[in-house]
Chain A
Amino acid sequence: MLDRYTGVLLFAGLGCFGLAFVLSAVYPWMITDGTRPEASIEAVATPVTTEFKQLKESYPVAFAQAFPRADECLTDQELVDVAADDPRRTASDGAWGAAHAVALRAGRDEYVGQVCWHCHSQFVRPVANEAVRFGRVRSAADDNNELQRPVLWGTRRVGPDLTNEGGRRSNDWHVAHFWDPEGTSPDSVMPRYTWFFRDGFQVVRGIDPELAARQGLSSEREYAYPGVFETQAEAEAELARIRESADPNLKAETARLRVVPAKGPDGDGLAIIAYLQWLGTWDASEREETNQ
């Protein structure tokens, strides 16, 4: 007897689909994000995280290659001689924002492309003691930005939640962890991300042999200078520069400088670290009153 109504099948089916779409997609949008446009990457990147600035100090070569206008981003070291009203300071702020935006976009793309979001969530719920373990509960305003499009809440936690990861660990920790997660977290099942690293040459300084003997340290200990260069010649040039510009008190130790093969994070590695260090640091509080 229902055969007569076969013709309405299509319309009814479409109707149900449409109803669900309105109730589960349009309605939530209207009462959460619909009232405010999403924040652009440029906007959320404006407060540059301390860790991002530290990335330039620790890995200047990869940083310069990965991010545009990196040479205008002045680090604390470079700002020492720049006066407070010097236009270079303003230019530096703009360059930092631009580089940070590029890094966040690239880092998000890595986060999606390496499929981090299948094992890590970005979604702290107000239950199960999650706020104690992972920090502040996620609000709708926190996610109303371009980096959460498509949304990266995730549905599985093989690894911990990353909502409030920014600033919790140092860049070094992340570098060590990407190189070998079992180093920083024994028994971790996370894969190694060795392709975030590249080979090159680095300037190192051997330990003062006298001090090593006095402190009972190995005399073969070496301390690396920032920057992993692609060619040995570039590293040699850097060595010469360090020797040239060394503090008068430190002239003696420049004799112990030498160039060694080394590894360091590449642009992708820096981008994803910048993204991780940004997570949870964007302050959405002024957007919150419009949301429920």
Chain B
Amino acid sequence: MNSQRSAWTFVAPALFVLGVFLVLPVCAALLLSLTDFDLYALANLDNMRFVGFGNYLDIFNTPLFWKALGNTVWFVVLSLPLSLAASLGAALLLNSPLARFKGFHRTALFAPVVTTVVAVAVIWRYLFHTRYGLINYGLSFLGIGPIDWLGDPHWAMPALALFAVWKNFGYNMIILLAGLQAIPQDLYEAACIDGASRRRQFWHITLPGLRPVLLLVAIITMAGYFQLFAEPYVMTRGDPLQSTVSVLYLMYEEGFKWWNLGRASAIAFILFALIFAITRLLLRLARARGETA
């Protein structure tokens, strides 16, 4: 009995923190999303009313919500494949027996991951500058005319996607590199003896061996990209023409600019229901393919 009590003194502080500052707020968020909690309720709780699914219906009838959702999905569609390709390419290069100075290259390619997103977003805002930015300067050598990256509604989201890929691909590179190193070397040796080409080895040994890791990395990255916020906050403030308003940016404005905390909670829940659903879908697709393969 005594040892039970002392065991509890080990876990109680951490469980208290998680309970009070994570579990309780998540439950409260669900309730809050069913109320019209706003600036008046903030002053006096008597001004709060239960509105059922009113917030959700309201949001689904708001054009800006659909615009933000479309923007966010577009951002994910642009950056996710690019990011995965960059991470896989970098991991394959680092894993190659021909590569020199691996430690240096790994550190250099990973460095953006540990940087502060606000600080590097500020850098990229200037790199994307139409007249004085390094990116347009570099493109001018390829004969590509100046692009108004952050001022043109068609280019703003691709610009943020490029930045996000630069910032994040190193994370997946490290995980994929570990995945590559876990593939048994004798599989490659056997393939060599059988005379399989490099390309066939990649398609028949490397990719199947990496599949579980690739799936994991795709899900983590997808969920992270759906939570786009700091980039538009610092680089574009949602402009031009609201083309970079993300769902989380909308939630932030709704909640902490207009103080519609009930509506903002509902937006948060919709976003995470979406992420959850896509995760389930990816897992199911992977399992179905795993069974047929």
Indicate, yes or no, whether A interacts with B: no
